[in-house]
Structure 1
Amino acid sequence: MVLALPFGEPTGQSWLQIGELGVALVLSAAIGLERELRQKSAGLRTHTLIGFGAALFMLVSKYGFTDVLGDHVVLDPSRVAAQIVSGIGFIGGGLIFVRRDAVRGLTTAAAVWLTTAVGMAAGAGLPVLAAVATVGYFVVVFAFPLLTVRLSGSRTQSRFIQVTYEDGRGLLRDIVSTCTRRGWTIAELTTRHVEREPVDALVDGGRGRLREAVVRPVSVLLELRGAADHEELVTDLNNVHGVLSVAASNPDLDPDA
């Protein structure tokens, strides 16, 4: 059964093409959901729109010019596909940034690039190929990290911890020393001041007056790499005099991958 619309050129506007758009929508949304759950900068909506739009561009390229074709008009549908590949580079490039010597967003940019290919395959009438590519994506993002650990022969891992401590006491040196003594390598370190109300009061020089002593907390986010015990490190950091709190931090919340 062909879905004939009362306007425009009916070729390419059947349930088949609508189904191809639906395949692109579902598969790209599956990839986007994984990125959304990891709280990456490009998530469910972005990936879904990219894959869905790529499929639509492919369908327009295949069927959108049938009304002008003739003996003297020849079109190359592959040219639109090539422009999609070029255009998606601008979106992917916007997801990659460098902070100090750390590059962020490469995996998310690659996921956007693959989602575009999945949408193009669905729009080109290759739903099986699009589905296999989507399965391949999940194999890469879930199975490959485990494989990498096994091949490396170690349990080297990355950990993010956030330490809040009292400013002006030289505690950062002690914090770094504690981490390295426990066998961790510091890959990145970011500090920021934290607003906090006065928490103490001291007697002012025997004159019987109280003056407020303001503790100015500083928060430092540490990216640690190594195979040591993470819980023991947290315990040691909590025992450093002047450290106010130690908490595990989610690396996906820090601008990702």
Structure 2
Amino acid sequence: MDAGEASVVLEEISYFEAVLRMLCAMLVGIVVGVERGRNHRPAGMRTHMLVALGACVTMVVSNYLFVEFRPLGATPDPARLGAQVVSGVGFLGAGTIMREGLSVKGLTTAASIWAVACLGLAAGAGYYAIALTGAAAVYATLTVFEVVQRKMNVTRHATLALDLECKDLSGVMHDLNRFSVQQNATLSHVQFDETEERGVYHLTAIAVFRGANPQADQAVFLEKLGGNLNVKKLETTQY
């Protein structure tokens, strides 16, 4: 490409065109961000708008730099800054991921932020159809396919954290395992130690119920465990 060709490219990316691309990126952020904000997620409309807009500006600047320095003999890569956006936006997505007990929340929001950054790059490169179609696809993924996922989810389960004090530790452990098998549950993270009271043990465990009706299995499990005379104290936390 010679200087004449570069100037033609520069004319194509006019100020009006750059503004139009930024508006397209902001629209992409609105489409995705409204859904996240409506569901009270860590990153809402404004966050998604800023991510898309920033990615768009990065791509527009990349194009200008390419056009400006190519006639001088330099060989700049117009996709280099965009590549940094794709990898660098991960820190923002990581900030939306939170661990609450045994569950991890915010993964979908983190993915939507990353996707919006990519769509912003598309808008910044002038690929309006891709940016807007991608925004619609992301919105559909967050709304329509959430319902589909719920209907297709056949691996229903309930998770229960157990915290108890008991006598006859071996007998209680035997009952725990027996009740778990009977009620379609899996025990994990079993820990125990002796309390200050002689012969009394503190025991914690996680029970995951994976039967056809996990809530009912859980209720029966707790009823059986609570009826054990060696269990002095029983506290549970539902996840």
Q: Considering the TM-score relative to the shorter chain, is it more than 0.5?
A: yes
Describe the shift of the 1:139–1:180 C-alpha distance in structure 2 as closer, same or farther (beyond 3 A): farther
State the TM-score, normalized to the length of structure 2. Answer: 0.58
Q: Tell me which residue corresponds to 1:123.
A: 124
CA contact (8 A) 2:21 2:126 kept: yes
Q: 1:59 Cα shift?
A: 1.5
**Aligned pair partner of 1:229 in 183, 208, 213:** 213
- Counterpart mapping for 1:42-81 below 5 A: 43-44=43-44, 47-64=48-65, 70=71, 72=73, 75-81=76-82
Quick one: distance in 1 between partners of 2:176 and 2:30?
42
Q: 1:232 Cα shift?
A: 0.8
Q: 1:58 Cα shift?
A: 0.7
Q: 1:128 Cα shift?
A: 2.8
Describe the shift of the 1:39–1:176 C-alpha distance in structure 2 as closer, same or farther (beyond 3 A): farther
Q: Note the alpha carbon deviations across 1:176-235, whole angstroms, 9 max, x for none.
A: 64344222445x648799xxxxxxxxxxxxxxxxxx9xx99876555x363421221332
Higher relative contact order, chain-length normalized (CA < 8 Å, sep 6+): 1
- Counterpart mapping for 1:34-49 below 5 A: 43-44=43-44, 47-49=48-50
Q: 1:110 Cα shift?
A: 4.2
Quick one: distance in 1 between partners of 2:235 and 2:37?
29
Q: 1:69 Cα shift?
A: 5.9
Matched to 2:156, the amino acid is Q
CA contact (8 A) 2:96 2:109 kept: yes
Q: Note the alpha carbon deviations across 1:44-64, whole angstroms, 9 max, x for none.
A: 376554333211211111235
Quick one: distance in 2 between partners of 1:104 and 1:54?
25
| Stretch of structure 1 that moved more, 27-36 or 118-127 | 27-36
- Counterpart mapping for 1:1-257 below 5 A: 14-28=15-29, 30-31=31-32, 43-44=43-44, 47-64=48-65, 70=71, 72=73, 75-88=76-89, 110-142=111-143, 144=145, 155-163=154-162, 165-169=163-167, 170=169, 174-175=175-176, 177-185=178-186, 189=189, 220=205, 222=207, 224=208, 226-239=210-223, 240-241=225-226, 242=231, 244-249=234-239
Quick one: distance in 1 between partners of 2:27 and 2:89?
20
Displacement over 6 Å in runs of 4+: 36-40, 90-97, 102-106, 148-151, 190-193, 215-219
How many residues get paired?
211
Q: 1:72 Cα shift?
A: 4.3
Instruction: Tell me the percent identity.
Output: 24
Matched to 2:158, the amino acid is R
Q: Which runs of 5+ in 2 are unaligned?
A: 1-10
CA contact (8 A) 2:211 2:217 kept: no
Quick one: distance in 2 between partners of 1:113 and 1:137?
11
Matched to 1:43, the amino acid is A
Matched to 1:167, the amino acid is E
State the TM-score, normalized to the length of structure 1. Answer: 0.55
Q: Which runs of 5+ in 1 are unaligned?
A: 1-9, 194-211, 250-257
Quick one: distance in 2 between partners of 1:192 and 1:12?
68
CA contact (8 A) 1:17 1:123 kept: yes
Matched to 1:133, the amino acid is G
Q: 1:23 Cα shift?
A: 3.2
Describe the shift of the 1:189–1:65 C-alpha distance in structure 2 as closer, same or farther (beyond 3 A): same
